Structure 1
Amino acid sequence: MKRFFSLLALLFCLVTPVLAVSPDEMLADPGLEQRARDISAGLRCLVCQNQSIDDSEADLARDLRILVRERLVAGDSNAEVEQYLVDRYGEYVLLRPRLNYHTVILWIAAPTLLAVGLFGLFWAIRRAPARTSEDGLSDDEKRVLAELSGAGEDETRNG
């Protein structure tokens, strides 16, 4: 049994994540290839939507990986490559969106709306009239109702 767990631990150590990058996409320069991997790890596959283009086997992800490598070979910096893709596909292509005014609004809007809703609910509950008895009538209302009910009965008897 101990041998089985040792073998299992060894297998877990040897397992590495499988990337969808094919050998024909890789650059000859290891420095540029590492930069391409770093950039593509932060880019969203527009087909799979929750994978990076490095992990996706979709055709569009392959095209984006090739485009990233072409831009790096052309001499673009990492930021320029990312900006080129954002200009072309929108900020959705980034797995980690940038902190801009519209992303701040999105992060602040939900808690603000929740707080406003809770305040409105608390205010509505506080403004509701207090119930004094089980049937919802105050003592004065019960007295008036009894007088009206008694007066109505007297009129029907006399009439």
Structure 2
Amino acid sequence: MKIDLRKLAHSDTLPFSGTIDLSGEELYGAKPFQSPVVFSGEVTSHLDALRLTGEVKTTYHTCCARCLKPLEIPLSAEVDVVLSRNPSAEEEDDVFIVEGTEFEVEDVLVPALILQVDMIYLCREDCKGLCPSCGCDLNESVCSCGSKQVDPRMAVLAKLLEGNEGRQD
């Protein structure tokens, strides 16, 4: 959605709202934005300073990092930035550089939303995950694999320990 800053000459406030389709966007190897992204806010002009405030919301579709159950995480971000035409202000926090008289509001809102995404999500804090051998969900049942599994790279060390179990020095 393009915001035309020339409209602020007639009014001090320019409200906006809409939806963004991010279903094609890839993040961490998946396409988690299956729901529409809804946004609203306003651009205000006060003493020749332009300020964009708004909110962006969606549902983030991902999987539990331990057991791979599908998760739907409500995700939202508050945005409060100063709009500037001065390219030297780019290094400052909370400043968005505008070239010309129009800009895409998505260029401000989408990065703010993506910054709210965590690297991993869990279905619950004490999720036990999957058995590394058989893939059984350890939250739902106990697998039939041996409880003591030895990494094949450490099998030689395990044999040494077996031979020394009865021996005391």
More helix by share: 1
- Higher relative contact order (Cα pairs below 8 Å, separated by 6+ residues): 2
TM-score (norm 2): 0.24
Bigger proportion of residues as strand: 2
